[in-house]
Amino acid sequence: MTADTRLTPDEKRRFADWLNARSIKACPMCGKRNWAIGDHLVAPIPYIAGELVSEGTSYPQAMLVCGNCAHTTYFNAVVIGLVGRTAANKE
């Protein structure tokens, strides 16, 4: 059985508080202010030429999705405090 990896309501509130403290503006693509916090963290991984890397260092990101045009922007979940540095760099 796969664990539920969605952000909890408390984690979403902490991300929203973090965004509000930094005066996040309207969507840069459509100009609307209709943001939604994505349900999951996502994690780009380092690029290594010629290899498909499936483990090691990753960079967990929280998603902010425009409800009008679907533009999605990402914020570093470690900096926000949603993920510890150790958890983000399992090696």
| Partner residues linked to 41 by β-bridges | 62
Q: Which of 24, 42, 65, 69 binds Zn ion (CB under 5 A)?
A: 69
Distance in Å, CB of 69 to Zn ion, minimum: 3
Give the shortest CB-24-to-Zn ion separation in angstroms: 13
- Dump strand ranges (E) for the chain: 35-42, 61-66, 72-76
Under rule CB under 5 A, residue 71 binds Zn ion: yes
Do residues 62 and 73 touch, judged by C-beta distance below 8 A? Answer: no
Contact predicate 65/36, CB 8 Å: yes
Cβ proximity to Zn ion, 68 vs 89, nearer residue = 68
68 near Zn ion, judged by CB under 5 A = yes
Q: Between residue 1 and residue 60, which ones bind Zn ion under the rule CB under 5 A? A: 27, 29-30
Task: List, in sequence order, every residue forming a beta bridge with 64; answer none if it has no partner.
Answer: 37, 73
> Which residues sit at the interface with Zn ion, rule CB under 5 A?
27, 29-30, 66, 68-69, 71
